[in-house]
Amino acid sequence: RGDRLPDAYVEVKSVTLSRQTGLAEFPDSVTARGAKHLSELARMAEAGHRAVLLYLVQRTDCTQMTLAADIDPTYAAASQAAQAAGLEIYAIDTHITPQAVTLAQPIPFAG
């Protein structure tokens, strides 16, 4: 944290699930811990802090991202509540090679 920068709370999630061409989804299983983290981020946003959730899409075949609400409806509901509280959500594509995984570009997130 720099002297002039406000506090920011950031959660990073790795996304590997795709059940539809071009569409990445999270989560790939029920995640009570993930829903708890969303609630904590919502509390930070409500307290006036910047709260950010960053989904790193670790696939080379997806151009957009969404929530797998059918897999974990509790997580999806917690995400909607956290967004209403001010949580910022971003999805970033990654470039994967045998040598490295690097950030590529933002992709649309719907959820």
Q: What is the CATH number of the domain that holds 71?
A: 3.40.1350.60
Domain that holds residue 43: 8-110
Specify if 2 maps to a domain: no
Which contiguous run of DSSP H or E holds residue 39?
helix 32-46
For 9-18, letters b (16+ CB in 10 Å) and e give bebebebebb
CA–CA gap between residue 27 and residue 77 (Å, rounded): 13
Specify if 1 maps to a domain: no
pLDDT digits 0-9 by tens, 85-102 = 999 999 999 998 899 989
Total domains in the chain come to: 1
The CA-atom distances, in angstroms, between 18 and each of 13, 24, 53, 58, 88 are: 15, 5, 19, 10, 23
Whether the predicted pLDDT of 43 surpasses 80: yes
Specify if 89 maps to a domain: yes
pLDDT digits 0-9 by tens, 64-91 = 999 999 999 999 999 999 999 999 999 9
Identify the pLDDT of residue 86: 98
Specify if 58 maps to a domain: yes
Task: Report the DSSP beta bridge partners of residue 10.
Answer: 52
Specify if 72 maps to a domain: yes
Identify the pLDDT of residue 2: 57
Specify if 97 maps to a domain: yes
Specify if 30 maps to a domain: yes
Specify if 3 maps to a domain: no
Whether the predicted pLDDT of 1 surpasses 70: no
pLDDT digits 0-9 by tens, 3-36 = 777 789 999 999 999 999 999 999 999 999 999 9
26 contact partners, CB below 8 Å, separation of at least 6:
13, 15, 17, 55, 65, 67, 68
